[in-house]
Amino acid sequence: MKLQMVGCSHHGSSLEVRERLAFTAEQARDALRRFRCQFPRSEAVLLSTCNRVELYTASEAEDGCPTHQQVVEFLARYHGLEPAEIFDDLFERTGEDAVRHLFTVAASLDSMVVGEAQILSQVKQAYDLAADGDAAGALTHIAFQAAIRVARRVARETAIHQKRVSIASVAVADFALSVFDRFDDKKVLVIGAGEMGQETLAYLQAEGAREITVVNRNLMRAERLARQFQGRAAAWDSLLEHMAEADLVVGATGARGTVVSLADYRKIEKRREQRNLLILDLAVPRDFDPAIGDCIGVYLFAIDDLRKVCEENRKAREKEWPAAERIIEEETARFMAEWRHRATGPTIRRLRERSEEIKQEELSRVLNKLTELDDRSQREITLAFDRLVNKLLHPPLKSLRDEAEQGAPHGLLDALKRLFHLKD
């Protein structure tokens, strides 16, 4: 049996390369169908995220999986590229290394932001898509189910997922939730329509935020982001009007200078009637004059405040890393033992079945000739045949199991098949 992975990730490939190799869900479904037509003896699961593109393949037969070169060619041709353009960006993992890599990815130890929760759901979705399209099979099933189990164990037994390390997640979980205990009744204003604003809105919406307004110099971009979160867009010159009504304001523009000065805030301060206002200034340079934080009812947190918490959380996660790695190693060893047992199981079963057939043939021939024997004598002869077969089979089967435990059963496995004429 063989399990392998060929792919690229943020560790060794540029964003440009990952974008050229990325698959939408529909493309992944189509690619897996084409892959199975080209390599009918191989199972396949395709994992494609913004940080990685990885094709996992598995086959009962060693030569059932495509080679590294064949996978590179398949991925390149699908995207209209020449294999030489991407060959150096695609790395390969086989056998135990492939299993360890899959477990590490699912547990979010290989992510750009270690401990982020999205990757496990992406792994599940990749397997489900492959299973729905009949690209996955028994081998990929046990590998991906094991990966999901391992990821959950890492999350349960370590704190590696508990400390947030992205600016947006810390802004919401560590700061916003310290000011407000709920968001479903709060008015949220986001200034800027870039990635930081988008990520922060995702966390806020997950916490229950419903009334969302996006203001951006480019109204079209504001409308696009607002639609994504079922909010509304507003013109740039209405910023202060919406800020007067807001409970939480996120500053995430790319402006080169201050967007809201103290003088600007003074224009709307009376209208707020000292209601609490949380400002998360995630921009560099800052969008808000720091002096606004001294006004009554205003809680202003700038990027440096958030970065400090991110760094503290990152150090806390690093302390959990050895425990998470131990779990990965334990589970990899456990999986490989089961995998090797699965590899030798069919041969052992066929050898026993063949031995039983030969024993029964010879036993019947002997007993048919010795018709005068009583039942007790027949039973003794039958037991003698059983003992003889078991003693003959014990040494080769024990050697096969020992080699499987040590991780190299294939030489003896092939020898037994040839010696005893065992067909696959």
The residues annotated as belonging to the active site are 50
What interhelical angle do 95-106 and 303-369 show, nearest 10? 140
Stated length of the chain = 424
CA 245 – CA 241 distance, rounded (Å)? 7
With CA atoms as reference, report the closest residue to 242 among 220, 222, 257, 227.
Answer: 222
The CA distance from 135 to 45, in Å, is: 7
Distance CA 1, CA 60 (A): 4
Tokens of 103: 């477990």
- Written as six digits, the tokens of 297 are 């009812």
Q: Which residues of 88-112 are buried (b: 16+ CB within 10 A; e: fewer)?
A: ebbbebbebebbbbbbbbbbbbbbe
Cβ-proximal residues to 418 (8 Å cutoff; 6+ apart), any chain: none
Task: Give the relative orientation of helices 410-419 and 375-406 as an angle to the nearest 10 degrees.
Answer: 150
Q: Residue 408: how many CB atoms within 10 A of its CB?
A: 11
245 close to 187: Cβ distance less than 8 angstroms? yes
Phi-psi region of 265 (alpha: psi -120 to 50; beta: other; left: phi over 0): alpha
Pairing status of strand 298-302 against strand 91-94: unpaired
